[in-house]
A and B are shown apart, each in its own frame.
Chain A
Amino acid sequence: MFENLPLFPEQASEQAAQVDALFFFLVAVSAFFAILIAMMVAVFAVKFHRRRQDEVGDAIHGSIPLELFWTFIPLGITMVMFVWGAWLFFHLTRAPKGAMEVYVVGKQWMWKVEHMDGQREINELHVPVGRPVKLIMGSEDVIHSFFIPAFRVKADVIPGRYNTMWFTANAPGRYHIFCTQYCGTKHAAMIGWVTAMEPAGYQAWRSGGGATGGPVENGAKLFQDLACNTCHKEDGSGRGPVLKGLFGKEVQLSSGQTITVDEAYVRESILNPQAKVAAGFQPIMPTFQGLVSEEQVLQLIAYVKSLSGEGSAAPGTSATQAPSPAGGAQPPAPPAKKSGMN
């Protein structure tokens, strides 16, 4: 094709082919109906063109069988689209177990990336080819959105909560990252590059340095520096709940509600501890709002997860939880080994 006239984005992830398959199906259906209507209108306009000034059309009022026909056929087609799109969405949003986790913080107007081994990047994300990667994303200020067109994945990055997205890159190369939720003056400059590398190259990059301790280690350090360990003692003698083995479990709150200890709950407990106090404990934990940055919160979360053997550093004993969206029930486990629809 022409040098600078791309017609179609490259497919660089396993998800891309699946998304494109649905896209082509919709293009085919749309083209069929659009051409059908256009042609019928054109043909009728010509064939039944008024020949005399006073000519009148035929006395036709309708046909119920025809109405039903062109109601139920589109209904059937749209329901196929719905099911396919829904299935695809479930697949796109449920990261498989053992996915490599990477933390991303969006802030006006840059992307801050932190790998589990401590490697940090700004507006760059290095990932290995062939391995599922799960991004856990938060925002420091306003709503952003992390979009990798070549992978066909996107998720809003919203302050006050975590959103996740995942992908498996399957073609080495450099691909655009775009912020796709308007966030202010330099929204269009909040862009970057994903570099997908063959496993060997990725390993080389990982050991290339720049690591300043992983989130887990940094989190452990923060846990001490901020004196969390004075109340959250491992032997249970402290004023706060024991955190070892806690992540992923269900706990009862003093209000009677039961919640699951996930990233969102840990974050809330750090920044707004009175909101959901565990049953049997006093509401005396001070708030750390303003004392820790979003990145530091993510590091503390990584540390707390490690106390349950969670996170990609070690195989987990319980499923890696995505943060619960507001009010939503926990989703079922993703369907195993679905290949793209072809």
Chain B
Amino acid sequence: MDTITTAPTLNYLNSAHGLASWLLTRDHKRIALLYLVSVTAFFAIGGFFAMMIRLELVTPAADFVQPDTYNKLFTMHGVIMVFFFLIPSIPAVLGNFMLPIMVGAKDLAFPRINLLSWYIYVLGGLFTLTAAVTGGVDTGWTFYAPYSTASSNSHVIMAGVGVFITGFSSILTGLNFIVTVHRMRAPGLTWFRLPLFVWSHYATSLIMILGTPVIAITVLLVAVERGLHLGIFDPALGGDPILFQHLFWFYSHPAVYIMILPAMGVTSEIVQAFARKNIFGYAFVAFSSLAIAIIGFLVWGHHLFVSGQSTYAGLIFSILSFLVAIPSAVKVFNWTATIYKGAVSWDSPMLYAFGFVGLFTIGGLTGLFLASMGLDVHVHDTYFIIAHFHYVMVGGAIMGYLGGLHYWWPKITGRMYPEGWAKFAALTVFVGFNLTFFPQFIVGYLGMPRRYAMYAPEFQVYNVMSSAGASILAVGYVIPLIYFIWSLKYAPLAGKDPWGAKGLEWEIPSPPPTENFAVTPIVTERTHQYAPSREVGIA
């Protein structure tokens, strides 16, 4: 890439100064950075809890922390990582920044609601952190009743209120994205000319608006039952604990697709840019995002296979859980086919994309084990499950997030981070991740249950491996934090298009001006075209 020596002109970063210009901004790009800071902070907190968990699990006995403390650690790790990191991360940071630019707009449809959404997120986070520091919550992030409503003596209501509030942040972001994609596309930008990043965020937004209200009401009911002793979920008061599980998972399963679909969108963008080739099977990849979103709403009962729910209901959930894997498989094949006969660069964003494809494939395949009812009986609530979801959420979603941050960092900041360190960090993350989580498949099938502060001695070797891997993974995460911050002041300036990539975002300056486009673009073909649009089959 060329080093630019001329200083950037007026852009969104230097157009206004002072704290108020940030905290009262309506610019989607600044809001994206507000989210970047807060999301990173929550990741650090959730990661700290993870380190505590892995330190405890080095030995079979509960000798590092008390069991009660351990129970709070894994709960807070889950609550913070799910609700305050994974769900917002890509949509609120990269989506907020890129989506309006990718559709050729000056901002999202509702800029003030965008800012409100950030404040709601922070408020909900404060409630949850307060719950954490004043004694913690120990129900698990899944808040199962009646333990959460009748038995736990921890700050369930406060944490629940935090989750409730933050849910509205998610809803408003989704609402904003949907209206923007429908109504703010530049002239000529038809749906099938949109970048796949936009398709995946559109599908994600559908899930956000349809699923999040249900977790909101569920968490509200838990708080009400706990506070007022009404019999909604507690059988001792006449309630039904399985009803809680259905209501909870009705959101929480689609929620995992909120976490992965944006990362898939990022991967589509990176693979095209770093193979300098159009995505293979654009329509299939675009529609697969919608298919995942829709089918993803119909599978929640696979979390209840051993609860005693009707076997016939289980059958339906099982077959649909297998079906939801197919569009994901289609994406993986299409990404692989895109690299074929491409001009493949090994720059760090592409390394993250490769990591994503491999690790998401493994994570997704292990999902088939869980969809299989007879097999799920054995592995349910063991470390096999933990390994599965960390493969898709960390090996998948977080790799996608990091890849996207690297890919668009030059656009967002106008600076190019040090590529050598970035490659090193990517490899460190990959190695550390696999060492942490692959042994958990083995120890899970052996029978080690999840949420155990102490465990049977024969599981120790795998736990030691896993904890060792976690420390390597932590290093891999800290390195980018350092060089990204360093790059803001000391790294070479990046020009408009340091990667030689296609897309509306690469046609505007880095960093972009506040209004994004000097003149509204008029689009005549797909915005990510590396080749003429005449259709050609396999060469």
Contact = CB atoms under 8 A, between A and B. Distances in A.
A and B touch in the complex (CB under 8 A): yes
Interface of A: 4-9, 18-19, 22-23, 26, 29-30, 33-34, 37-38, 40-41, 44-45, 48-51, 53-63, 66-67, 70-71, 74-75, 78-79, 81-82, 84-93, 108, 141-143, 145, 147, 149-150, 152-156, 158-161, 163, 176, 178-189, 191, 272, 325-329, 331
B111 interface: no
A57 B341 contact: yes
B344 A188 contact: no
A4 B147 contact: no
Contacts of A41: 336, 339, 354, 357-358
A91 B374 contact: yes
A37 to B, nearest CB: 5
Interface residues of B, number: 107
In the A-B complex, the 4 residue pairs with the closest CB atoms: A149-B447, A88-B374, A160-B235, A57-B277
Contacts of B537: 60-63
7 contacts: A56-B343, A57-B342, A57-B531, A78-B322, A82-B318, A89-B377, A141-B151
B368 A81 contact: yes
A38 B358 contact: yes
B71 to A, nearest CB: 7
A58 B339 CA distance: 10
Contact of B365 (A30, A91, A176): A30
A108 B357 CA distance: 43
B490 interface: no
A147 B456 contact: no
Interface in B129-180: 138-140, 144, 146-147, 150-152
Given A84-B374, A156-B308, 12 more contacts: A9-B446, A33-B361, A44-B339, A44-B340, A45-B354, A50-B345, A56-B277, A61-B536, A74-B325, A89-B374, A108-B151, A176-B456
Given A9-B446, A71-B330, A184-B147, A48 B382 contact: no
Contacts of A61: 278, 280-282, 531, 533, 535-537
A49 B277 contact: no
B449 A328 contact: no
A220 to B, nearest CB: 27
B4 interface: no
Interface of B: 62, 67-68, 71, 138-140, 144, 146-147, 150-152, 235-236, 238, 240-242, 275-278, 280-284, 305-315, 318-319, 322-323, 325-326, 329-330, 332-334, 336-337, 339-346, 354, 357-358, 361-362, 365-366, 368-369, 371-378, 380-382, 442, 445-447, 449-458, 460-461, 500, 530-539
B458 A186 contact: no
Contacts of A8: 445-446
A289 to B, nearest CB: 9
A141 to B, nearest CB: 6
Contacts of A63: 280-281, 537-538
B364 to A, nearest CB: 9
Contact of B381 (A45, A81, A180): A180
B458 A189 contact: no
Contacts of A66: 281, 333, 337, 538
Contact of A82 (B319, B346, B457, B500): B319
Nearest to A275: B238
A7 B152 CA distance: 36
Given A70-B333, A183-B147, A188 B381 contact: no
A22 B343 contact: no
Given A22-B372, A26-B368, A143 B344 contact: no
A188 B277 contact: no
A59 B322 contact: no
B354 A158 contact: no
A182 B151 contact: no
B536 A142 contact: no
A84 B372 contact: yes
B336 A5 contact: no
Contacts of A82: 318-319, 322, 371-372
B381 A147 contact: yes
Contacts of A40: 336, 340
B53 to A, nearest CB: 13
Nearest to A324: B310
B89 to A, nearest CB: 24
Contacts of B460: 4
A154 B306 contact: yes
Contacts of B330: 67, 70-71
A163 B342 contact: no
B380 A180 contact: yes
Contact of A53 (B332, B447, B500): B500
A181 B381 contact: yes
Nearest to B75: A182
B531 A71 contact: no
Contacts of A22: 372, 374-375
Contacts of A163: 307-308
Contacts of B534: 59
B226 to A, nearest CB: 13
Contact of B447 (A57, A75, A150): A150
A5 B443 CA distance: 10
B69 to A, nearest CB: 10
Contacts of B453: 188
B339 to A, nearest CB: 4
B25 to A, nearest CB: 37
Specify which of B283, B361, B366, B447 lies most central, judged by the most chain A CB atoms within 10 Å of its CB: B447
Given A34-B361, A45-B354, A326-B242, A59 B371 contact: no
Contacts of A79: 319, 322
B281 A143 contact: no
B289 to A, nearest CB: 15
Nearest to A178: B449
Given A44-B339, A57-B342, A84-B374, A9 B282 contact: no
A44 B344 contact: yes
B361 A78 contact: no
B313 to A, nearest CB: 7
Nearest to A88: B374
Contacts of B374: 18-19, 22, 84-89, 91-92
A326 B147 contact: no
A48 B339 CA distance: 8
B55 to A, nearest CB: 16
A49 B340 CA distance: 10
B342 A58 contact: yes
Contacts of A325: 308-310
A179 B326 CA distance: 34
A80 to B, nearest CB: 10
A339 to B, nearest CB: 15
A9 B447 contact: yes
Contacts of A185: 67-68, 71, 138
A112 B371 CA distance: 32
B372 A56 contact: no
Contacts of B309: 325-326, 328
A328 to B, nearest CB: 3
B344 A50 contact: yes
Given A84-B372, A86-B374, A145 B381 contact: yes
A6 B306 contact: no
B536 A59 contact: yes
Contact of B241 (A6, A37, A57, A160): A160
A142 B147 contact: yes
Contacts of B345: 49-50
A143 B531 contact: no
A89 B354 contact: no
